Amino acid sequence: MGKHGWKWLLSAPALFVLVLAASGPLTIVLVYSFLSPGTLGGVSWEFSTEAWFRVFFSRDIFDPEVVTWNTAHLTIFWRSIWLSLQTTFICAVLGFPTAWFVATRSPHNRAFWLFLITIPFWTNLLIRTFAIQELIRNSGTINSLLMWMGAIEEPIQMLYTDFAVLVGMAYVFLPLMVLPLYAAMDKLDFRLVEAGYDLYASRWRVLRHVILPLVKPGFIAGSILVFIPAIGAYVTPRILGGGRTMMMGNLIGLQFGQGQNWPLGAAMSMLLLIIVVGALMMYLRVVNQGGGERRG
Amino acid sequence: MSAVVKPFSVRRLPGFGAIAILTFVLLYLPIVILVFYSFNAGQSQSNFEGFSLRWYAAAFANEQVQEVSVRSLWLAAAAAGIATVLATLAALGTTRVARFPGQTMIYALINQPLMVPEVVTGIALLIFVAFLKVQTGYTGMGYLVASHTAFCIPFAYLPIRARLETLDPTLESAAADLYASPVQAFRFITLPLLVPGILAGFMLSFVISLDTVVITEFVKSAGQDTLPTYMLGQLRRVVTPEMNAIATLFLALSLVIVTAFFLLTRKRG
């Protein structure tokens, strides 16, 4: 320890609050996932791996030895993953041209366009989801407009479907794709693009073989930054999805109602966390590799 | 004038501009429509019957809305205030220092609220708070303040740390050469230079606390609704434009803070 070895102690108060209200409670969740459920919610302090078992499997009511896949849970896990992947895809398709557009403005205008992307990112997610709800509800703007034009007789049921959740998530998470893509494009050396054209490459070939490989780290970073909040989404599926279009976050929330199975909810939370940490590790690898390439 | 041939630009990709403009429209249209109907004289969200401020009047007269708004604002002020002080100290303790053992762990702890899904943090706090409520009998707002504070710390920490990293360490050496004590050097050199970062950290945390809905939803006791949890509860019903009016006011507040944040952290030159 050097002369300033005591300096880290300045972070002690912040660390205290974080341990108290973040990592401490998270550790309790891990412990709870290995306990037995209490009779009226809560837990009883007996070690058990039953909660983890029940995340994936269910037992026959009459014969506990008969084990089947818990299709109700698996359907929801699969829907969460599939919706998150689709969200990521939509964000990539819309986000790439948008980021390119921003990155190719003049430096003076660039700040303005970037600001336009960032504003929704910092405005309330609940309100943005509410805005989507108003658009797609049966008596909402889109249905009213279509009926007024005579395109449809009856309103189309969009709210409370997977489609609604998908639209909502793509809408709220889009800035998370545009920002890292923009960061990658901002550093792009346009002399390489020019060299491609000089060698008679078509626009498509330049895009495919020059631009895309160069901004790939931004693409991967953006995809993971969209995927992570999407897989853990709670508010958007709760408002736009119905009881039948739940996602993992909502299923976890349900386990903590009165008289529910807390250890099961704890185990599901840990599963969600494992998925998120896995995605995060991939993100860190990409970011670090990107840094290495630039230095090399 | 003859037809103007566009010069070939390596920065142009066909169709990209159109998709980008479409994306910007898609990004803002839902919010514009939401704001538009907050001024509707009628009941509906789809049939505009004329301009009126009646829903704003209704929102301001609604005692429950008043109550949850005031609670949200003071909760955000308290959580952001505490988080900013703690984050400033933490930034001073972890920036511009030689690597020390446990540094990675400190970073991991500080950034944990950013990485863990909010619903997981929410139920973790629910479990812990339920336990504490039984043990201590205390059911006040302290739980929400602590939860929001922990959640805000990384958002306050990042801009302060970024500011600190750009400071020239020779300024403090110069102060020391001129016989300033370390406390004086901090008070008159480091702290004034750090103010924009601290303000930015506070504003960011304030907005984050105002927006936080999942954690509040799981931690709150009866009668501790904030504006977002109140709205979440109302959204399941058929809502009147009063909700649009509330959302518009909320958006306006966020917009003002975020714009101020941008102006404060903007790179000059």
Residue of A nearest to B152 (CA): A18
Using CA atoms, how far residue B59 sits from A239, A244, B45, B240, in Å, is 22, 33, 16, 11
As averages over each run of 10 residues, the pLDDT of chain A (296 residues) reads 67 92 94 89 86 90 86 94 96 94 89 88 89 89 87 88 94 94 87 83 82 88 93 94 87 85 94 93 78 42
Q: Which of A26, A144, A174 sits opposite B27 (nearest CB)?
A: A174
Q: Does domain B63-265 have CATH number 1.10.3720.10?
A: yes
Q: How far is A132 from chain B (nearest CA, A)?
A: 6
A28 lies in some domain: no
pLDDT of residue A102: 93
Q: Determine the pLDDT at residue A4.
A: 53
Alpha carbon of B113: minimum distance to chain A alpha carbons (Å): 7
Contact status of B24 with chain A (Cβ, < 8 Å): yes
Assigned domain for A242 exists: yes
The answer to whether the CB atoms of B146 and A17 lie below 8 A apart is yes
Task: Answer for the pair A251, A268: CB distance below 8 angstroms, yes or no.
Answer: yes
Of B13, B17, B121, the CB nearest to A207: B13
DSSP for A181-245, written as a single string: HHHHHHT--HHHHHHHHHTT--HHHHIIIIIHHHHHHHHHHHHHHHHHHHHT--HHHHHHS-GGG
Most confident segment among A58-62, A113-117, B179-183, B257-261: A113-117
Task: Return the HEC string of A107-124.
Answer: HHHHHHHHHHHHHHHHCC
CATH number at residue A205: 1.10.3720.10
Q: Do A123 and B258 touch (CB under 8 A)?
A: yes
d(CA A227, CA A239): 19
Q: Is residue A108 in some structural domain?
A: yes
Containing structural domain, residue A102: 70-254
Q: How far apart are CA B201 and CA B178, in angstroms?
A: 31
Domain for residue A266, yes or no?
Answer: no
CA end-to-end span of chain B: 40
- Cβ contacts below 8 Å, chain A against chain B, sum to 266
pLDDT of residue A140: 84
Cβ-contact B76, B257 below 8 angstroms: no
Query: Any chain A CB within 8 A of the CB of B212?
Result: no
Residues B231/B248, Cβ–Cβ less than 8 Å: no
Smallest CA–CA distance from A174 into chain B, residue: B27
Instruction: Report if residue A48 sits inside a domain.
Output: no
CA distance to partner chain B, nearest, from residue A58 (Å): 23
Residue contact A249–B46, C-beta within 8 A: no
Cβ separation A266–B127 shorter than 8 A = yes
- Would you state the pLDDT for residue B182? 84
Supply the pTM of this predicted model.
Answer: 0.89
Report DSSP letters for B5-50, one per residue: PPPP-TT--TTHHHHHHHHHHHHHHHHHHHHHHTTBSSS-SS----
**Which residues of chain A have a CB within 8 Å of the CB of B82?**
17
Domain with CATH 1.10.3720.10 in chain B: 63-265
Which of A270, A290, A117 is CA-nearest to residue B26? A117
Question: Which chain A positions have a beta carbon within 8 Å of B244's beta carbon?
Answer: 134
Given a contact cutoff of 8 angstroms between Cβ atoms, the answer to whether B138 and B132 are in contact is yes
Tell me the pLDDT of chain B averaged across its residues.
Answer: 89
Count Cβ atoms within 10 A of the Cβ of residue B207 and give its class: 0-12 exposed, 13-18 middle, 19 or more buried. Answer: buried
Interchain pair A21, B122: CB under 8 A: no
A14: in domain:
no
| B15-23: average pLDDT | 90
Q: Could you tell me if residue A2 is inside a domain?
A: no
Decide if B250 touches A, using CB distance below 8 A: yes
Q: Compute the distance between CA of residue B194 and CA of residue B182 in angstroms, rounded to an integer.
A: 16
- Give A14's contacts in chain B (Cβ within 8 Å): 86-87, 89-90, 110, 153, 157
Residue range B101-120: mean pLDDT, rounded: 89
Q: ∠ CA B135-A45-A275 to the nearest 5 degrees?
A: 100
- In chain A, how many domains are there? 1
- Asked whether the beta carbons of B71 and B224 are under 8 A apart, the reply is yes
d(CA B261, CA B242): 29
* ipTM (interface pTM): 0.89
Residue of A nearest to B87 (CA): A14
User: Does residue A84 belong to any structural domain of this protein?
Assistant: yes
Task: Say whether pLDDT at B153 is over 50.
Answer: yes
What count of other Cβ atoms lies within 10 Å of the Cβ of residue A30? 14
Chain B CB contacts of A20 under 8 Å are 146, 150
